[in-house]
């Protein structure tokens, strides 16, 4: 019998993400998210404006080297404004959000949504199709069924019957996005279909804050929204930004390996913090759900890190690649030119593997 393991993690849903902090030097301070906001400076360092807070059920941190013109308050307003806009579109928890309303709309009639939400949906579907439909935003009913969504009340695994019923609502062909006269509509093919964009929330958030900072002329900064990170330029010490990929087997969230971000977007999906545990076999089921079987993944892959030009794109890919497992993720990265790293369980130890083009990010971190 499967029992839902109670999360000890205060950040609930998404904190299993493995990219933990801004500069590696700051890992310990910046992952302690409950600490007060502060600015840092020292003899060799530039002043930075650093803020931390909560969004989307997880944490965020922004570090602007040289200082943000509006100080901590201004930076917080910028970041939280960006997050609010995203949550207003994609939240499945907030009754006023567009996606919540669509999920609640029990009809197969066209439902008007904003063009922005339409684009997010279309782009996420596009990324999912590239990886065998393994990232599938129609998993909503399964996410709820397994207790990772809005109906967080289960402490036992659903029955096969329930899973089969939910699976009838899952598939990228189960809904469509229509555009007419510059308006966007979503059409359910079955009135019970529910979309879930949680997998791209962090990436969208990191991109949105980064875009605003670039627009305002900042050249050296880092944005982290849990497992999604965007960084540009150098840190306060004039060095390239470094990140730590977390050791999934470490309860203290030890950094498994440092990497340089090299002005790219880095995201990590992990299967090791938010999960079901089979109490009799000890088998762990992650919150990443295989849309083909209806079951959370339970293979040996613990995390998948994807580096690309957009945190949204990396975030849309990482959960699906986690579903596919390390070998397929690495093969896909090789074939499509993405830098990908995976951590698997190998005889009780974490095994780290990566595509050839991931090496530059590791080598840079060693040289710093
Ligand atoms: P991670 O930190 O592992 O990337 P995310 O929060 O980005 O996790 O995404 C996990 C969430 O995505 C789940 O909680 C669920 O809401 C949703 N999800 C689970 N499986 C899938 C899937 N196969 N495709 C799309 N979304 C999924
Ligand atoms: Mg993701």
Nearest CA to ligand 1 atom 22: 135
Q: Residue 315 Cα, ligand 2 centroid: separation in angstroms?
A: 4
Q: Which ligand 1 atom sits closest to the C-alpha of 202?
A: 7
Whether the per-residue pLDDT at 126 is higher than 80: the answer is yes
- Of 24-33, 115-124, 339-348, least confident by mean pLDDT is 24-33
Q: Which residue has the higher pLDDT, 30 or 156?
A: 156
- The response to whether residue 202 sits with its C-beta less than 6 Å from ligand 1 reads yes
Work out the pLDDT band at 284, boundaries 50, 70, 90. low
Please tell me the number of Cα atoms within 13 Å of 151 on its side-chain side.
12
Nearest CA to ligand 1 atom 1: 269
Whether the per-residue pLDDT at 230 is higher than 70: the answer is yes
Q: What is the model's pLDDT at position 249? A: 78
Whether the per-residue pLDDT at 19 is higher than 80: the answer is no
Q: What is the model's pLDDT at position 43? A: 53
Handedness of CA 70, 232, 55, 245 (dihedral sign): negative
In this structure, what are the phi and psi dihedrals at residue 337, rounded to the nearest 5 degrees? 75, 30
Which residues have CB under 8 Å from 333's CB, separation 6+? Answer: 306, 321, 339, 340, 355, 357, 358
Whether the per-residue pLDDT at 115 is higher than 90: the answer is yes
Mean pLDDT of the 45-57 span: 92
CA gap 111, 107 in Å, rounded: 9
Q: Which residues pair with 2 in a beta bridge?
A: 278
Q: What is the model's pLDDT at position 106? A: 96
- Of 5-14, 103-112, 190-199, 334-343, least confident by mean pLDDT is 5-14
Nearest CA to ligand 1 atom 14: 287
Q: What is the model's pLDDT at position 144? A: 87
CA gap 286, 294 in Å, rounded: 12
Cβ burial of 3 (10 Å; 0-12, 13-18, 19+) is middle
Whether the per-residue pLDDT at 355 is higher than 80: the answer is yes
Q: Residue 202 Cα, ligand 2 centroid: separation in angstroms?
A: 8
Work out the pLDDT band at 361, boundaries 50, 70, 90. very high
Q: What is the average pLDDT score of the chain? A: 85
Q: Residue 45 Cα, ligand 1 centroid: separation in angstroms?
A: 38
Q: Are 186 and 121 in contact (CB under 8 A)?
A: yes
Work out the pLDDT band at 16, boundaries 50, 70, 90. very low
């Amino acid at each position: 019998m499967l029992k839902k393991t109670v999360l000890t993690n205060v950040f609930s849903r998404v904190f299993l993400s493995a990219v933990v902090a801004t500069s590696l030097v700051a890992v310990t301070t910046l992952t302690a998210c409950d600490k007060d906001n502060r600015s840092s400076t020292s003899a060799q360092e530039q002043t930075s404006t650093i803020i931390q807070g909560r969004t989307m059920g997880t944490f965020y941190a922004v570090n602007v080297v040289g200082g943000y013109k509006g100080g901590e308050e201004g930076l917080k307003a910028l970041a939280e404004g960006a997050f609010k806009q995203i949550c207003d579109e994609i939240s499945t928890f907030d009754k006023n959000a567009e996606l919540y309303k669509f999920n609640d709309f029990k009809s197969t009639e066209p439902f008007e949504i904003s063009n922005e939400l339409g684009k997010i949906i279309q782009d996420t579907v596009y990324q999912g199709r590239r990886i065998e439909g393994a990232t599938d935003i129609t998993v909503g009913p399964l996410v709820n069924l397994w207790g990772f969504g809005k109906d967080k009340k289960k402490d036992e695994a659903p029955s096969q019957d329930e899973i089969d019923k939910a699976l009838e609502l899952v598939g990228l062909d189960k809904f469509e996005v229509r555009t007419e006269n510059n308006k966007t509509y979503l059409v359910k093919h079955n009135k019970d279909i529910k979309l879930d964009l949680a997998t791209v929330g962090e990436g969208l958030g990191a991109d949105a804050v980064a875009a605003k900072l670039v627009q305002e002329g900042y050249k050296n900064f880092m944005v982290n929204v849990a497992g999604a990170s965007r960084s540009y330029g150098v840190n306060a010490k004039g060095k390239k930004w470094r990140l730590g990929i977390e050791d999934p087997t470490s309860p203290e969230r030890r950094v498994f390996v440092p990497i340089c971000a090299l002005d790219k977007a880095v995201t990590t999906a992990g299967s090791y913090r938010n999960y079901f545990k089979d109490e009799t076999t000890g088998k762990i089921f992650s919150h990443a759900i295989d849309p083909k079987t209806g079951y959370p993944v339970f293979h040996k892959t613990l995390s998948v890190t994807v580096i690309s030009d957009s945190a949204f794109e990396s975030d849309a890919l990482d959960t699906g690649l986690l579903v596919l497992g390390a070998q397929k993720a690495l093969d896909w990265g090789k074939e499509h030119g993405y830098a990908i790293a995976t951590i698997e369980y190998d005889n009780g130890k974490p095994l780290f593997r990566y595509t050839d083009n991931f090496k530059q990010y590791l080598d840079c971190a060693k040289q710093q």
